[in-house]
């Protein structure tokens, strides 16, 4: 809400600011000096008035109130802009804390402006009780999601669970960098440069993976199978060497290779190694390590098997037989028809 008000009433450039200010002040000066007395008397007539409780509100009161609130909101927008710049210059303050201070300053300034405006136009707050029941029900149903997102945004800023430039992944698979945290939404920039506005409530009610919450380190996993005729000790050595030679692989924790399974056609290994800059991606180091493994396997004559099946057709008889033996190099399976 504060962002919307600021966007509407925040003038762009000092010339526009001066022109808007002079126009609003001129109207109030003419009104106070009596130049608009005839117009005021017409707008203040009983024919253009309504009664709310014990107080009579005319068209003049409404227009006067709108102008007063316009000036106050305009001045509040200037004050908010000034506060944002000053808070942004705070040294040794985390970005999340700055965002929290800015939101608190915005809410405080606009609430004070609203109370001051009601006082300047002389509106008795007790007259608003006529609409309090209907307005309360309307706000309860109509602004329920907005209020939930606003409160969720404040919670996220206070607990610092996500911050600007964090790498996050949502439960629906959306992943990217946090570029902005607002009162209603959080802006995520995906890896293909899409900007997605995520309601703040989703970060509170759903599961969120923050890859950079406490550190930037992440694990890369590579699954690979080799033929049964391979030297398993040599395979393990090649996998470890390929990972350690990569410039983004960290030495603590060191890379690990595990023998995971004796499969139908291969002996299955898994390689784990760590990078300390996950914000730069995991696919590139994974791809480069796999390319080096491929080259080293080719040098040592180690093959990566894949399932195959041979069909033998005999004339005059169709018969399916189970394979008697599997080729240990390629995992070939024979079947006769």
pLDDT of amino acid 68: 75
**Spatial separation of the C-alpha atoms in residues 191 and 173, rounded to whole Å:** 12
Indicate if the pLDDT at residue 315 is higher than 50. Answer: yes
Q: What one-character DSSP code corresponds to residue 229? A: T
Check residues 94 and 267 and name the one with the higher pLDDT. Answer: 267
Indicate if the pLDDT at residue 51 is higher than 70. Answer: no
Q: What one-character DSSP code corresponds to residue 47? A: G
Residue ranges covered by each domain of the chain: 2-142, 160-210, 218-300
Indicate if the pLDDT at residue 3 is higher than 60. Answer: no
Indicate if the pLDDT at residue 333 is higher than 80. Answer: no
ω into 322 cis (within 30 of 0): no
HSE at residue 171, side-chain half, CA atoms within 13 A, is 7
- Which of 139, 76, 137 lies closest to 108, judged by CA? 76
Name the band, by pLDDT with cuts 50, 70 and 90, for residue 184.
confident
pLDDT of amino acid 270: 96
Mean local confidence (pLDDT), 56-81? 74
Q: Each residue of 207-261: pLDDT tens digit?
A: 999 998 888 899 999 999 999 999 999 999 999 999 999 999 998 889 999 999 9
Name the band, by pLDDT with cuts 50, 70 and 90, for residue 98.
confident
The pTM (predicted TM-score) of the whole model is 0.55
Check residues 48 and 146 and name the one with the higher pLDDT. Answer: 146
Looking at the domain 160-210, which fold is it?
A: SH3 type barrels. (2.30.30)
Residues making up the chain, counted from first to last: 337
- Which of 149, 268, 141, 280 lies closest to 203, judged by CA? 149
Mean local confidence (pLDDT), 87-99? 71
**pLDDT averaged over every residue in the chain:** 76
Q: What one-character DSSP code corresponds to residue 215? A: -
**Spatial separation of the C-alpha atoms in residues 209 and 221, rounded to whole Å:** 18
Token pair of 247 as six digits: 């410039």
Indicate if the pLDDT at residue 141 is higher than 70. Answer: no
**Spatial separation of the C-alpha atoms in residues 51 and 206, rounded to whole Å:** 49
Token pair of 3 as six digits: 């962002």
| Helix%, strand%, coil% for the chain, nearest 5 | 50, 20, 30
Contact at 8 Å (CB) between 40 and 27? no
Q: Each residue of 6-26: pLDDT tens digit?
A: 444 454 555 566 666 676 677
Does domain 218-300 match CATH 3.30.70.100? yes
pLDDT of amino acid 163: 84
Name the band, by pLDDT with cuts 50, 70 and 90, for residue 4.
very low
pLDDT of amino acid 127: 54
Residue with tokens 């040294």: 91
Name the band, by pLDDT with cuts 50, 70 and 90, for residue 121.
low
**Spatial separation of the C-alpha atoms in residues 24 and 30, rounded to whole Å:** 10
HSE at residue 219, side-chain half, CA atoms within 13 A, is 11
Highest mean pLDDT among 53-67, 163-177, 221-235: 221-235
Name the band, by pLDDT with cuts 50, 70 and 90, for residue 335.
very low
Contact at 8 Å (CB) between 268 and 223? yes
């Amino acid at each position: 809400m504060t962002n919307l008000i600021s966007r509407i009433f925040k003038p762009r450039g000092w010339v526009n600011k001066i022109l808007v200010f002079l126009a609003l002040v001129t109207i109030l000066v003419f009104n106070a000096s009596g130049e608009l007395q005839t117009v005021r008397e017409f707008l203040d007539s009983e024919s253009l008035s309504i009664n709310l409780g014990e107080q009579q509100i005319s068209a003049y009161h409404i227009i006067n109130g709108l102008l007063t609130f316009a000036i106050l909101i305009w001045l509040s927008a200037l004050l908010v802009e000034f506060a944002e710049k000053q808070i942004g210059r705070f040294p040794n303050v985390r970005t999340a804390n700055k965002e929290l201070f800015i939101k608190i300053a915005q809410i405080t300034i606009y609430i004070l402006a609203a109370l001051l405006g009601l006082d300047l136009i002389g509106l008795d707050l007790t007259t608003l009780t006529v609409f309090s029941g209907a307005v309360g029900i309307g706000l309860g149903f109509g602004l329920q999601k907005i209020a939930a997102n606003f409160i969720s945004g404040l919670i996220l800023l206070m607990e610092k669970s996500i911050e600007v430039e964090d790498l996050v992944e949502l439960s629906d698979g959306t992943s990217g960098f946090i570029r902005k945290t607002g009162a209603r939404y959080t802006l995520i920039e995906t890896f293909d440069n899409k900007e997605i506005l995520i309601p703040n409530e989703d970060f509170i009610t759903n599961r969120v993976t923050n890859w950079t919450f406490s550190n930037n380190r992440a694990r890369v996993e590579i699954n690979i199978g080799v033929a049964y005729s391979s030297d398993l000790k040599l395979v393990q050595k090649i996998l470890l060497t390929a990972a350690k030679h990569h410039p983004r692989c960290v030495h603590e924790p060191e890379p690990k290779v595990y023998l995971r399974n004796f499969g139908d056609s291969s002996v299955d290994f898994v390689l784990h190694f760590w990078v300390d800059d996950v914000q730069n991606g995991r696919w590139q180091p994974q791809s480069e390590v796999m390319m080096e493994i491929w080259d080293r396997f080719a040098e040592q004559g180690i093959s990566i098997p894949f399932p195959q099946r041979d069909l033998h057709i005999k004339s005059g008889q169709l018969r399916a037989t189970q394979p008697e033996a599997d080729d240990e190099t390629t995992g070939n399976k024979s079947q006769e028809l």
